[in-house]
Amino acid sequence: MTRIDAKFAELRAANKKAFVAYVMAGDPDYATSLEIVKGLPAAGVDIIELGLPFTDPMADGTTIQLAGQRALDGAMTLDQTLSIAAELRKTDDTTPIVLMGYYNPIYSRGVDTFLVQAKAAGIDGLIIVDLPPEEDEELCIPAQAAGLNFIRLATPTTDAKRLPKVLQNTSGFVYYVSVTGTTGAAAAQAVDVAPEVARIKASTDLPVIVGFGVRTPQTAQDIAGVADGTVVGSAIVEKIGAGEPVADVLAFVKTLADGAHRA
C-alpha cells in the first residue's frame, strides 16, 4: 500500500473528500518553494502535486507555464525537485507526494535511475501527461514495479472505447480533467462533472479526483461533492507568481481545503 492508498483509506474512514494542491517546484525560488510545500499539510492539503519544471509544458496554461519558466530561470533541476520531496520527508512521512510533469527529463535521466531516486526522495506517484497508455512499458509499468502509483488523466473527450485503455494500468487515483483545454483555461462546473465522474467510477474502484478550473472554496466544495476530491493548481500558483507572502498563500490554500472538506 502506497501513501496515496493509505490516504484515501483514511479519508474514506472519516467520510471526507480529498483536497490536492499543485505547486511548481522551484517557483519562485527553491527556498520559497520548499517553505510552501512544507506548509501545505498544515493548511489542509491531503496530497501534494509537485510540478517538475519543463521547457515545453503542453498541457499547462499561461499561469503554470510562467511558474515553470520562473523555476527554470532560477536553475531548478530534477535533482532539486526531488530534494524538495526529501526535505519534506524529514518531518512528514505520511502526506503523499505526486510528481507531475513531462517525460523528457525522466527519459534524459534514465528510467531506472530516476525511479530509484524518486523512491528514495519519498515520491509516491507520477502523473506524466505526455505518456499515453500505449507507452506503458516506458515508465508506467516500471514505476508500479518500483512501488510508485502511476496516475492517468481522463478528459471530457475520453469516450467509452478509450476509457478502458486509460484505466488499464492506472493506480492511486484517476485524475479527471474537468474542462477541455489547458490548466486554468475555464471554470469547472459540478453539473457537467458529475455524470462524467459517475461514468468513470462505473469502470474502476479507484478514487476519481477532479482538477482544472477549480479556483474558489465554493467550487472546490461543489466539485468535491460529486467526486472523491478536487485539485487546485493555477489559482495557488497565481498567488505565488504575484509574490504574495508564503503565509498568505498558505492561508488561501486552507480556504480551498476547507471548501473541499465541507463536501
**Antiparallel, parallel or unpaired: β 18-24 and 229-232:** parallel
* Contacts of range 135-143, beta carbons closer than 8 Å, 24 or more positions apart: 136/168, 136/169, 138/103, 138/107, 138/111, 139/103, 139/106, 139/111, 140/169, 141/169, 142/111, 142/112, 142/115, 143/115
Cα 78 to Cα 28, 58, 89: the distances in Å are 16, 18, 17
Q: Point out the residues that are catalytic.
A: 49, 60
Phi, psi values for residue 160, rounded to 5°: -60, -30
